[in-house]
């Protein structure tokens, strides 16, 4: 599946380069094998979210590997706390509400201090 995406991306890049007279330099591609979050760490994060007063935190499946996939593939138990971000992450217009950041850090704090 990713190979097809890479091929599509290459075609689109060539089209844009030709149509607009620009050149893209993408650099070295980094690939990380898909990985599952550690069931123990994920379970403790889920448990930690119930220990905080904020009622907006929730558990969700995600395809986002981020650095957690690198750690998981190296045998380091990994899980992810996502913080809601308007306009999506890795976007120049991303924006996070302080209350959402605090909720995420509260989950992490609870995980580290109450579920360990």
Sign of the CA dihedral with 52 first, then 56, 60, and 65 last: negative
Q: How far is CA 12 from CA 27, 29, 58, 65, in A?
A: 17, 17, 37, 25
pTM of the predicted model, to two decimals?
0.64
Beta strands in 35-110 (DSSP E): none
| 100 DSSP 8-state letter | H
pLDDT tens digit sequence for 13-35? 999 999 999 999 988 877 777 78
Rounded Cα–Cα distance for residues 22 and 15 (Å) = 10
For residue 19, the model assigns a pLDDT of 97
Cβ–Cβ under 8 Å, residues 68 and 79: yes
Q: In the predicted model, what is the mean pLDDT of residues 81-87?
A: 86
């Amino acid at each position: 599946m990713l190979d097809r995406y890479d091929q599509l991306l290459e075609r689109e890049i060539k089209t844009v380069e030709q149509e607009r007279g620009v050149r893209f330099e993408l650099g070295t591609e980094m690939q990380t094998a898909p990985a599952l979050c550690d069931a123990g760490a994920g379970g403790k994060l889920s448990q930690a979210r119930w220990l905080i007063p904020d009622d907006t935190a929730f558990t969700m499946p995600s395809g986002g590997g981020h650095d957690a996939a690198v750690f998981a593939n190296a045998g380091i138990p990994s899980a992810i706390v996502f913080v809601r971000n308007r306009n999506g992450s890795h976007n120049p217009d991303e924006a996070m509400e302080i209350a959402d950041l605090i909720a995420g850090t509260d989950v992490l704090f609870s995980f580290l201090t109450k579920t360990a």
